[in-house]
A and B are shown apart, each in its own frame.
Chain A
Amino acid sequence: MIGPDGQLAGRPAGPLARAPWWILALVLAAVMVVWKVATSELYADIFRTLLAGLGVTLAVTAVSFPLAVGLGLLAALGLLSPHPVRRNLALLYVQVARGVPILVQIFIMAFVVVPLGVALLHHAGPAGGALAALRPSAVSMGCRVVAALVFAYGAFEAETIRGGLTSLARGQAEAARALGLTHRQALRHVLLPQTFRRLLPTLGNDLISLLKDSSLVSVLGVRDITQQARLYASATFRETEALTMLACFYLALTLLLALAVRGLEQRYRRHAA
């Protein structure tokens, strides 16, 4: 027997079994953390230290995500292009970016691609314009890490957007083209708005993943909340307290984001159907 929820029917679920205990547990944990921060000097100190890195974590995420979606959109259009050069370039990019660990991509971007790029600009001389005077050290580690995250996540977004576009009914593109819209106008006014609405949950998940992966910037010494917690822990040997607080920061951020995405989804759902 399969119940309406798709579960095998067995024990009837009473109100106690159906209660959202996990939310209660989270709320309890949150209360405990707030209480600790309010009463313990140590936790208050850790909290302030992490807060100093919060801006970097949020900025890395907020800058990388739109750029990754933009790059992903370009790559998705490349994947769907009838033009063989564009399609193969897009395929090459997606396969490479998805096949190399993000941590490795960050190292390569920071220590190979950026110095090499700067050196090339340097050799280009006047053709490089104002950028020819650029020194490698002028490109901050933060910028390098954002570039790496955009490169890596662009490939995920490319696959996501390609899937979204191909899942639209063919009639939508035909109706747009039959009205005289160009390919570009059809994408902009008819296909992409529908695709992005449909992809909202997926994009939300990717944004949350990116927020978590922004912790990788700490390997380059960029002072995000992870780096702040590590520095604090190594200076004070308070690993347990610092890392627990760090986890709480990420959890709070990801839960807030998930709620925001759900809110957006519901708003669009009310408008559609």
Chain B
Amino acid sequence: MPPEAPPVLEARGLVKRFGAVAAVNGVSLGVRAGQVLAILGPSGSGKSTLLRCLNFLEVPDAGEVRLEGAVVPPRDRALNALRARVGMVFQQFNLFPHLTVGENVALAPRVVRGQPRAAARAAARDLLARVGLADHFDRPPLQLSGGQQQRAAIARALAMEPAALLFDEPTSALDPELTGEVLEVMRALAAEGRTMVVVTHEVAFARAVAHEVLFLDAGQVVERGPAAAVIDAPATERARRFFGRPGGPAGRPAPRA
């Protein structure tokens, strides 16, 4: 990656307060084309809020977001343009229950990009086939399993041909069996060079797929670096405790090095 290419998606000095609590407290991050950034951290550390600031589902109180080097001003038109180029996958899937699975995928290309109905539906069919849901095009989403719903939600995000994809704990609402099929799809996306920011509790997935890991605690980045370094050999006490490395959890005596 030549150093002059700006990150696809970048945040500088993001702050988001809820009342007196700063859920995100001065976080900067960037993800380059074709890279996967994983955001890890304990519950309540601000991971999801940070991710939601990236597409302004939460409007940050301070800091800026840049898409392909250009600052995104917090105005409706610019935000809609940003969101149309940055896909998001939610913990609760959030498929539209009044539409078929196929229409869920075809809706945004049709409405936002003005694609003709037939073309949008054809593209949706291809995308659903790619996530293994070719036979579910005409079904109501609530008849699908959680894993299938999440894969459909990924197809829906892909339909806008996004420059980057945001995943907000995409497997946290799934049992282990269904988690596997969703992670498999995400692995395939990473392998084909999608730019992704993933908030997750799946440490093994982050270890295997992410190029960079942010470890967040109390709204601040505690550690950042290559996945292997942060997860296997955390530099801070807080991260060691989280990843269960020696020197960490209570009950396991910390060996003095």
Q: B160 touching A175 by the CB < 8 A rule?
A: no
B111: A residues at CB distance < 8 A: 181, 185, 189
B57: A residues at CB distance < 8 A: 174, 177-178
- Minimum C-beta distance from A156 to chain B (A): 24
Question: Given A189-B111, A272-B140, A273-B142: A172 and B80 within 8 A (CB)?
Answer: no
- Minimum C-beta distance from A43 to chain B (A): 48
- Minimum C-beta distance from A168 to chain B (A): 10
Question: Given A174-B90, A273-B140: A179 and B108 within 8 A (CB)?
Answer: yes
Q: How many residues of A contact B (CB 8 A)?
A: 22
Scan residues 129-171 of chain B and give those whose CB is less than 8 A from a CB of chain A.
140, 142-143, 153, 156-157, 160
Does residue B83 face the partner (Cβ distance < 8 Å to A)? Answer: yes
Residues 261-273 of A, flagged 1 when their CB comes within 8 A of B and 0 if not, give 0000000000111
A169: B residues at CB distance < 8 A: 92, 94
Does residue A87 face the partner (Cβ distance < 8 Å to B)? Answer: no
Scan residues 173-220 of chain A and give those whose CB is less than 8 A from a CB of chain B.
174-183, 185, 189-190, 193-194, 197
Q: A175 touching B90 by the CB < 8 A rule?
A: yes
Q: A175 touching B83 by the CB < 8 A rule?
A: no
A174: B residues at CB distance < 8 A: 57, 90, 94
Contact of B83 among A172, A179, A194 (CB under 8 A): A179
Q: A182 touching B84 by the CB < 8 A rule?
A: no
A174 to B111, CA, bound (A): 16
B143: A residues at CB distance < 8 A: 273
Q: A179 touching B98 by the CB < 8 A rule?
A: no
- Minimum C-beta distance from B136 to chain A (A): 15
Scan residues 243-273 of chain A and give those whose CB is less than 8 A from a CB of chain B.
271-273
Scan residues 144-200 of chain B and give those whose CB is less than 8 A from a CB of chain A.
153, 156-157, 160
Residue ranges of A at the interface with B (Cβ–Cβ < 8 Å)? 169, 171-172, 174-183, 185, 189-190, 193-194, 197, 271-273
Residue ranges of B at the interface with A (Cβ–Cβ < 8 Å)? 55, 57, 76, 80-81, 83-85, 87-88, 90, 92, 94-98, 107-108, 111-112, 140, 142-143, 153, 156-157, 160
